[in-house]
Chain A
Amino acid sequence: MAEYRLLTKDFGTDGLETLAVYERIGGYEGLRKAVRTMTPDEVVAEVKTSGIRGRGGAGFPTGMKWSFLPKDVHPRYLCVNADESEPGCFKDRALIDEDPHQLIEGTLIAAYAIQAPIAFIYIRGEYHDQRLLLERCVEEARAAGYIGRGILGTDFSCDVIVHGGAGAYICGEETALIDSLEGLRGQPRLKPPFPAVRGLYGQPTVVNNVETLSNLPHIVLRGGAWFASVGTEKSTGTRLFCCSGHINRPGTYEMLLGTPIRELLEEECRGVWKGRSLKAFQPGGGSMQVLLPEHLDLPLDMDAVAKAGSALGAGAMVFMDETTCMVDISMRLVDFYQHESCGKCAPCREGTYFESDLMHRLEAGVLTTAELATLADICDNMNGKCFCPLGDTATWFVMSAYQAFRGEFEEHCGAGGCPVRRRGAQPVGA
């Protein structure tokens, strides 16, 4: 079994969301060690040694991100990205639901490392109960001296503010998150300048994902070198994989990076449901390209999956069995991006409308073959030409599915309905 519980090892402990229980299992010892025995630069160095890469999707090395902050420019801010909205992704919700103080401790360690006087936790509006839970935990931690002035008797002071969003996927993009936090429409900013140089309120800012930060207490306590020895050379540590779709046991599983995807599917997820076979899967959430059964032996490793033409992204694995219509799935994802496009740039704003209109007519079986041929054109006018990655990723799944399942797409043209659905309606064996 390659399930490896580091962040999830205490999940299910009764009362873990209370400070008393979290402290009893060793909670806040990482923060204590950091602020009392290490300099901020030593914490940064330890995180660099760990090799940890961001868990939000892009996989950028966390220590390096921190080191881009210009020297001696203050105040700096830390933003915790809890705007988890990637289709198929629900790991950050699990980390907050199950072990909220682990996230708060990691947040404070990061704030100490970059010397931020305020950390904002930006949590998506739909995670209403999770926001209330975090607010309660922050107050508990504040009363115990982990948050506020002179943390644990040192001269380090930091406030933590939990900020609820209101329904916008784009706010998971770090500069849109910053705009939203400033009280604006959540639209991305031009980079450079990167947030590390000019971010929230025009000040140097670091935006880190919930899972990334939840690793920090363990990195501080057990050392960066130990963390680097877990997983693979370039994908260190573990990752939480959100598994959903046509499998027997959906859920969040923490896996050692480097484990074959097949093992995650067969052992943790207990295989494809109803005794059916796998048709396709998405390894990194709604934004990422489709992979096929022949890719199941790939390791859970960011670089290996990238080489196969997709990405581990935010760690969302969506499995689809043999009855799945790839046109239907593509249509839903295109609809999602059309709904979530912020409207700032034309290729994304208009392109997602063209895509959505085309896919709806294709799924309804009223598109002509000539019209289908324009799909590649539409996508080509978007991919790499949008203001931010949302518009690019709006083309990745549909184009990869079109390439891998071309016959199925073409079969829909003029079919007067969905041919896959029609087949599925027949009794098995008929």
Chain B
Amino acid sequence: MLKMILKDLRISPVRSVLTSISMLVGIIAMIASFLVGTLGSGYLVAVNAQIYGWAPTYSFSVAGSCFEDYSKLEDLFLSLERVEDHTAITFSMREDVRFAPVTSISSLQNSNMAVYKELLPVDVVFTTSPYNQIYNLPMSSGEWLNGSGSNYSLEIVINKEAESYFNTPYAVGNVGSSLALTPFHIIGIVNDGRDVATVYIDAYSVAQYVPAMWQVQNATIYWNSTHGLTTEQIYSALSDCIADTVGGELEYSGRSDVGNTYDSVLSMLQIGLLVTSFLLLFVSILGQINIGLSSLEQRTHELLIRRAIGASRSNIVLLVLGSQLILSAFVCVVSILISILLVQGIGMYLPADSPVPSPDYPILVAIIAVVASVATALLGGLLPALKAAKLEPALALR
């Protein structure tokens, strides 16, 4: 039977190709709408997480605390580490910190004056290593802060905007009230999506080893809720944590879930594409019915002969519908291949430090391709097939 159906498709190759293309266009549009929903949504979430943090992230400001007491500060860090959700803390200093690039630490003794001239004010984020769990911070090169700084190798990470300035393996930091130059090892370059040069410093090691720079004015604690805690629950937990460690006042600053605000835009886009794809598939179905009925008129005599020599109604339905289903299987394979190439292509063109990870092929797309192909073929082929089955074999003799 399969051979017979395949032979049938070869009677009019142009018709078969045109039918396939009309099916393919609709199915590709449908696949595109789902890719927008899955990959597009992932892209928006990742980019928003790079700038605003993973949603939902709650932030709390902490003021009037005893951050200079290193043992209390260590207790605070340990308390935050024990939280099951992701938490991080950043510190604002009373004095701006300026940085200058240096090629080697040993050269500092001889060229202090030159270094002072090169000191530039940059955005400095004093934080802890879990900061990259609050924000989506892909590394362009090197590695993120790991909290293992030592007196002789304090570590910083710079962002891409700062890369052109800090084209050296080391940098020195300085606060205006001091002549001291503190050397830092640049361990990585991060793509944080910011358009200003930014330096990320491991607060843990600065607090321990560079007291001149450690002049905390206030702090901000970030809490990315992955367990569905309410603001009140988080506030209560953090209040206890602050009271037990550095003390001070905790104040709720806000909740960042910008990623969700794009959902409605994305949904509208997806609905628009879905409606378009349904219209295209509908047109394709109408085209198939039209082609099927016109082809039926052309081959009525042949089908009557088949009926006369023993084909049952179901044989005829299978023959007419079978060719549509074979076409749909072919279209299905082609559309899945195209969508795989598309998804792989996106992955290939993403830079190494893209905030979006190389996308996985969504299996849902393959399922949609199969369902849409078969449904289109069935709806487009059923009417001609049923009409063909109703042919009276006695007419073969007329």
| A and B associate | no
